A = this chain, B = another copy of it.
Amino acid sequence: MNPEPFLKLDRVIHEKGRMAIMSLLAATPEMSFTDLKQTLSMTDGNLTTHIKTLQQAGYLGVTKSVLNNRPLTTCSLTPAGRQAFAEHIDLLETIVRQSKPNT
């Protein structure tokens, strides 16, 4: 077993909740706070902190506007985020392959 892929796993992305956010945004170019919250059944506080973490890492672009007189926070992956996520998935794929030699 080669421990390298594990060592390279990006802790910012690796966390459950944030991986889910990144995955959603990889599939759907942009999603609102509320969409993310409902899709992932996360609590509000939990979600804002994860979004903030991803944003500070430069992985997420966040725009705040107003729609129908309500605040609307829209999130999307930055190019850096997209690439970091792709690399993370590659590492996971390596790990999966390493762990299932016979399939």
Q: Which residues of A contact B (CB under 8 A)?
A: 1, 3, 6-7, 9, 11, 14, 16-17, 19-20, 23-24, 26-28, 39-41, 85, 89, 92-93, 95-96, 98-100
Determine chain A's interface SS by DSSP, over half rule: helix
Cα of A17 to Cα of B1 in the assembled complex, Å: 14
Q: Tell me whether A16 and B19 are in contact (CB under 8 A).
A: no
Known pairs A14-B14, A96-B96; list 6 more (Cβ under 8 Å): A1-B39, A6-B20, A7-B20, A7-B40, A26-B99, A27-B98
Closest to A40 in B: B3
Identify A3's interface contact among B6, B9, B39, B89, CB under 8 A.
B39
